[in-house]
Chain A
Amino acid sequence: MIFQTIITGLSIGSIYALMAVGYSLVFSVLNFSNFAHGAVITLGAYIAWALMVSVFKMSFFPALLLSMLGAGIIAFFVERIAYSTLRHRRAPSLFLMISAMGVAIALQNVLYATVGANLYALPPIFTQDTFSIGAATISRMDIFAFVFSVIAIALLTIVLNYTKVGTAIRAASYDSEMVSVLGVNLDVLVAVLFLLAGSLGGMAGVFMGIKYMVYPSMGWITNKAYIGAVIGGLGSLPGAIVGGILLGLLESLVSVTVIGSVHLSTFRDVFSFGILVLLLVFRPTGLFGRHVEEKL
């Protein structure tokens, strides 16, 4: 039972981490919370639905890759349209955040107006999803989502640590003005940033769509990922990973806990948002952010 809970927790936690990493990447360089990230993730799931169900009958892997690419490109255009002018004018980060919220609302409503409010299912990856280890029933999809999230995050870490553009992103998280006068075209750097954040978000969207459903407001789940990012320390990459996974684990443990006759699962979201409030009050820099300026 506990084993099963941990697997579920790791799975949802790693999906949180995929999304949280996107928040942290953008925050680390541009210093604002990109609340349009949830809408990008939703669109990633819809792309997968179009590719696998409604328009084409693609198989899972090509559909996953194309959905990631699509979400990355959408994130790029969101930046071009909604943030880049503000950025060039050196607007306060609050302005960018408000612009992001506007984009989120707009994209969600475009979905309602075009595709509608229906819930769609994505085809399962495994025909027989569960298997047993002893008394525990394990979902193959959970393991799959965990493994692929870990691989994706590992690849991102390699890009950030061992490529030129990755090094520039880490440098820019500290001092983007200096990065610019060393000859780095900041517009290109930010484009790469949003492509990376968007495509990881697209992956998360596809996994969410398979695990649950595809619907216009599914991006709400990114609030949880955001909490994960805050737990780890906004802007810190290891923080986003650890924070996301930790939150997933805690949630799934809380969900199966019963005290007396009270099932704590009904309080799961209260619990998550409670953590957010407590953290913002007592440790706004999270687990990994020692100083506000120490990022990535």
Chain B
Amino acid sequence: MLLRVEDLNVYYGEAVHALRNVSFEVQEGEILSIIGANGAGKSTLMWTLIGQLKPRSGKITFRGEVMKPVPHAVVSAGMALVPERRRLFPNLTVRENLMMGAYLRGDRGAVQKDLEYIFSLFPILKERLNQYAGTLSGGQQQMVATARGLMSRPKLLLMDEPSLGLAPILVNQIFETIQEISRQGTTILLVEQNAKKSLAIAHRAYVLEVGCIVRTGTGQELLNDPAVQAAYLGVSQHKEVILEGKEPC
């Protein structure tokens, strides 16, 4: 097991209980999707995994080791986050943004080789290397954010809504890229509101609702689940199944 999360509880202050007893696993080599509506707690989960948010209780085990909420320790252990809305450094060039992703690595030669890998995924970035990241289009910024995440050579890449705010054609491209990254050997934990596409590429998936994991299965199983269809895939006839009378966790 690459990642095991047990009974995670995360709060903002006292009032907001953003994650409630969340437990799940990520297996080596898979694309694991977690789908959930706006405010379900997807980003909270990502920032907790990377060590920036401290959980009140629960255990995160990554590659056999219990993770402390210390981001640089988590990154050296092999996780990387591609955050929601990309969070590039617009005052840095594309090259500098990528180098920030490789901050903890000393091996310069290998970093150069990784750049070649990045260019094979995103050829356009080769021409943009010396441009300020703030001047790129949204689609190209998402490429840089993804590439920056890959520059630390993560074992597990956390991707938070990579398709958010992109034109439909770019959305298709980004999902294809995710599959390509997966084929190249990086395990992916993908959280998305775009349930249809992310379930379609997922080996396994979970549904997160107001801080609780409420369903799990293979991507295909969840795509065919009437309750999931009703709540997340715009199939209207069964809406009441999941949206009504839900008792969290």
Contact = CB atoms under 8 A, between A and B. Distances in A.
Interface of A: 164, 167-168, 170-171, 173-175, 177-185, 294-296
A183 B76 contact: yes
Contacts of B103: 164, 168, 182-184
B52 A171 contact: no
Contacts of B6: none
B96 interface: yes
Interface in B42-90: 47, 50-52, 71-72, 75-76, 80-81, 83, 87, 89-90
Interface residues of B, number: 25
Contacts of B87: 175, 178
| Pairs of residues from A and B, 4 with the lowest C-beta to C-beta distance, nearest first | A183-B75, A183-B104, A171-B89, A178-B87
Q: Determine the main DSSP class of A at the interface with B.
A: helix
A167 to B, nearest CB: 5
Contact of A174 (B51, B80, B91, B101): B91
B71 A181 contact: yes
27 contacts: A164-B99, A164-B103, A167-B92, A167-B96, A167-B100, A168-B103, A170-B91, A170-B92, A171-B92, A171-B96, A171-B100, A174-B92, A178-B83, A178-B87, A180-B72, A181-B47, A181-B50, A181-B71, A181-B75, A182-B75, A182-B100, A182-B103, A183-B71, A183-B104, A183-B152, A184-B100, A185-B72
Contacts of B81: 181
Given A164-B99, A164-B103, A178-B83, A170 B75 contact: no
Given A164-B99, A170-B91, A171-B100, A182 B148 contact: yes
A171 B99 CA distance: 11
Contact of A167 (B52, B99, B148): B99
B199 to A, nearest CB: 27
A174 B51 CA distance: 20
Contacts of A181: 47, 50-52, 71, 75, 81, 83
A170 B134 CA distance: 14
Contact of A180 (B52, B92, B101): B52
B180 to A, nearest CB: 23
Nearest to B70: A185
B179 to A, nearest CB: 24
A41 to B, nearest CB: 28
A179 B97 CA distance: 10
Given A167-B96, A181-B81, A184-B100, 15 more contacts: A164-B103, A168-B100, A170-B89, A171-B96, A174-B90, A174-B92, A177-B52, A178-B83, A178-B89, A181-B50, A181-B83, A182-B75, A183-B71, A183-B152, A295-B91
A226 to B, nearest CB: 23
A294 B91 contact: yes
Interface in B86-120: 87, 89-92, 96-97, 99-101, 103-104
A121 to B, nearest CB: 44
